[in-house]
Amino acid sequence: MPVCMAQNKPIDEAAIERWATFFSPSAIDREEKIKELRWFAEAAKQYQGLNVRSVAEEIKTHHWESEVLSRAFEEITGIKVEHKIIGEGQIVRKIMDQLMTGRLLFDIYVNDADMIGTHLRLKKTVNLTQYMKNEGDKYTNPDLDLADFLNLEFGQDYDGNQLQLPDQQFANLYWFRYDWFSRKDIKEKFKKQFGYELGVPLNWAAYEDIAKFFTGMKIDGTQVYGHLDYGKKSPSLGWRFTDAWLSIAGVGDIGLPNGSPVDEWGIRVENRIPVGSTVSRGGALNSPAAIYALTKYIDWLKKYAPPEALNWRWVDAGPKAAEGNIAQRIFQYVTWLSDDAFYRPGSVLTDKQGKPKWRVAPTPHGRYWEEGMKVGYQDAGSWTIPKNIKGKRRHMAWLWAQFCVSKTVSLKKFLVGGTPVRKSTINSDHLTKYKDKWGGLIDFYRSDVRSRWTDTGINVPHYPALSAAWWPTIAKAISGELTPKQAMDLMAHAQDEMMAKVRLKVYSPKLAEQKSESYWLSQPGSPKAQRVRPKPKTIAYETLLKQWRNE
């Protein structure tokens, strides 16, 4: 256990100079970097020699923070950081333990903004807006520039107060082998078989056709699969669904960020109060759209993905497309694209010039999706301070969080982990020069469409409690123990039961009276009545790029 006594030594100018050089490229120039780093050193002066404990999930971005940024922060400010990296599931357990029992486990968490609905209702985390205005003013970086953040609203409550500040974000996009989709022989074969052009699928009908087309095909001696996914019974199986799969199918209502009055978890919300998930209460978790979402997930996993995928978790499937035998993936977390195998010259996924043979594009929609709905998921690991972290510990934690998202370090951090949080990073000259290396990702983040990729949102009243019911039930549907309908019925009723039990400080759920399912299915919007398979649609990737660039 460290002895913690503040030291108050002079600022280490040499360290500032050294790290300003190291953080290159950067969205700001050297002078601005030195000014920003010196501010951190000054603000932290009275805390030299003390230490701060933070925790984050196991992705490349956070490993880099732990190995590199913590060292830089200590050399510049004199504050030692222990930035622990653990699984996301464990983080949720730890933060809930700290919020509910007051244990001082960490000073600050990088906690997914998916939990914003929980935090705003429990009122046990620091309101950063209030903190920055009051006692935290002295410790708030004058160059923090909140307007420069992407998706700041993910961490805000209903009234726009910032409860969580983004540290890293990654969208979930459609990924495909651009080189194969561009080959004349393959294109002709597809058109002959399906009667339309091979291209980026705009809907699930086209995705399904393309998956069927590629599965079993041999391309340049490699046996190919038309789909990639994962299905092992584990908490990450729940994320596969709670991370907006249902909204992509079209379960919820029109309206950003999450659909209103029914969101992508199938929860109907009235005046900020969740009132039900079952169709009989006006929710949609067991609606025809939700059953369709689960059915398609299982069908494609079993028919078109490598057979081993049934035993993969999120982390196993993440970089698998880099092995070179996958034609497309409907649900690709872009954080995995930072894996070297996707870029390394000489890899099966790069061409002779070292450029990627793959591209990313918007996720195709299911048959219940309508214009105006969210189109995909964006994960926003966000700095969150429990209310029982007070005084100097709160100030030190806040300084560390701001350091990790400062303009000085953000571009370099993006180059390591591919998880941007600032517009200045995305719009930097460096990325303009090298954007081809990112297979369309930079174009995506620069376009206006990115605002349609959102996280779980504020309507989910208790993320850990509600999500706990999802993965064991989905696993039973995969194994055939339950039909998709039985599984969704079970989940919807379990979610309602839980909502009936939880009592939260504000906007606690209150279940609505039950009505017949036919009543709700005949009303406009979600829950939606059964629909038939639409005509498959594709688009040429080049046309899509023009749309993103408003050309």
Tell me the two tokens of residue 63. 């490993």
- Selection from 4, 16, 63 nearest residue 40 by Cα: 16
Binds other proteins (CB under 8 A): choice among 204, 462, 496, 548: 462
Closer of 118 and 425 to other proteins (Cβ): 118
2 binds other proteins (CB under 8 A): yes
The residue (of 4 and 146) whose beta carbon lies closer to other proteins is: 4
Say whether residue 107 binds other proteins (CB under 8 A).
yes
Cα(264)–Cα(527) distance, integer angstroms: 11
Using CB under 8 A, count the residues that bind other proteins. 29
User: Interface with other proteins includes 502 (CB under 8 A)?
Assistant: yes
Q: Which amino acid is at 217?
A: M
Residue 49 beta carbon to other proteins: minimum distance, rounded to whole angstroms: 9
Question: In whole angstroms, how close is the CB of 504 to other proteins at the nearest point?
Answer: 8
Q: Which of 142, 221, 391, 524 binds other proteins (CB under 8 A)?
A: 391
Smaller CB distance to other proteins: residue 2 or 221?
2
Q: Does 100 bind other proteins (CB under 8 A)?
A: yes
Residue of 71, 191, 390, 549 interacting with other proteins (CB under 8 A) = 390
103 binds other proteins (CB under 8 A): yes
Using CB under 8 A as the binding rule, whether residue 1 contacts other proteins is answered as yes
Closest distance to other proteins from the beta carbon of 551 (Å)? 48
Note whether 503 binds other proteins by CB under 8 A.
yes
Give the residue from 540, 539, 541, 534 showing the smallest Cα distance to 205: 534
Nearest-approach distance from CB 98 to other proteins, in angstroms: 9
Distance between CA atoms of residues 461 and 497, nearest Å: 13
CB of 457 to other proteins, least distance (A): 19
Hey, what long-range contacts does 151-157 have (CB within 8 A, 24 or more apart)? 151/378, 151/380, 151/451, 151/454, 151/455, 153/257, 154/113, 154/116, 154/257, 154/378, 154/380, 154/382, 154/454, 154/455, 155/113, 155/116, 155/380, 155/382, 156/116, 157/116, 157/119, 157/120, 157/458
Of 34 and 44, nearer to other proteins (C-beta) is: 44
> Judged by CB under 8 A, which stretch of 26-34, 59-67, 219-227, 502-510 contacts other proteins?
502-510
Binding of other proteins by 510 (CB under 8 A): no
Q: Which is nearer to other proteins, 468 or 545 (CB)?
A: 468
Using the rule CB under 8 A, is 101 a contact of other proteins? yes
Nearer to other proteins, 278 or 408 (CB): 278
166 in Cβ contact with 152 (< 8 Å): yes
d(CA 6, CA 49): 5
Which CA distances in Å does 243 have to 134, 240, 264, 284?
35, 6, 9, 16
Between residues 97 and 270, which has the closer beta carbon with respect to other proteins?
Answer: 97
Piece in contact with other proteins (CB under 8 A), picked from 91-99, 161-169, 312-320, 321-329: 91-99
CB distance 178 to 359 below 8 Å: yes
- Residue 52 three-state SS: strand
Q: Which stretch binds other proteins (CB under 8 A): 3-11, 295-303, 360-368, 529-537?
A: 3-11
Member of 7, 87, 102, 546 binding other proteins (CB under 8 A): 102
Helices of type H across 480-521? 484-501, 517-521
| Nearer to other proteins (CB atom), residue 228 or residue 494 | 494
Q: With respect to other proteins, which residue has the nearer C-beta, 409 or 494?
A: 494
Question: ∠ at Cα 96 (90, 100), nearest 5°?
Answer: 150
Of residues 5 and 14, the one with the C-beta less far from other proteins: 5
CA dihedral (252, 256, 257, 261) positive or negative? negative
Q: Indicate which single residue of 468, 521, 539, 540 sits in contact with other proteins (rule: CB under 8 A).
A: 468
CB atoms within 10 A of CB 487: 25
Check if the beta carbon of residue 326 is closer than 8 Å to that of residue 217. no
Give yes or no for residue 3 binding other proteins (CB under 8 A).
yes
Q: How far is the CB of 400 from other proteins (least distance, A)?
A: 15
Strands, E assignment, 258-370: 268-270, 273-276, 328-333, 358-361
> SS in 3 state form for 448-491?
HHHHHEECCCCCCCCHHHHHCCHHHHHHHHHHCCCCHHHHHHHH
- Name 542's Cβ contacts closer than 8 Å, sequence gap at least 6: none
Contact by Cβ (8 Å): 140, 132: yes
Token pair of 101, please?
Answer: 């029992």
Among 501, 510, 515, 549, binds other proteins (CB under 8 A): 501
Q: Which stretch binds other proteins (CB under 8 A): 102-110, 208-216, 374-382, 403-411?
A: 102-110
Q: Between residue 5 and residue 24, which ones bind other proteins under the rule CB under 8 A?
A: 5
Least spacing, CB of residue 107 vs other proteins, in Å? 7
Both structure tokens of 519: 């009543």
Q: What residues pair up with 287 in beta bridges, in sequence order? A: none
Residues 201-260 that bind other proteins (CB under 8 A): none
Contacts (CB under 8 A) with other proteins, residues 45-64: 50, 53
User: What residue ranges bind other proteins (CB under 8 A)?
Assistant: 1-5, 50, 53, 93, 96-97, 100-104, 107, 388, 390-391, 393, 462, 464-465, 468, 498, 501-504
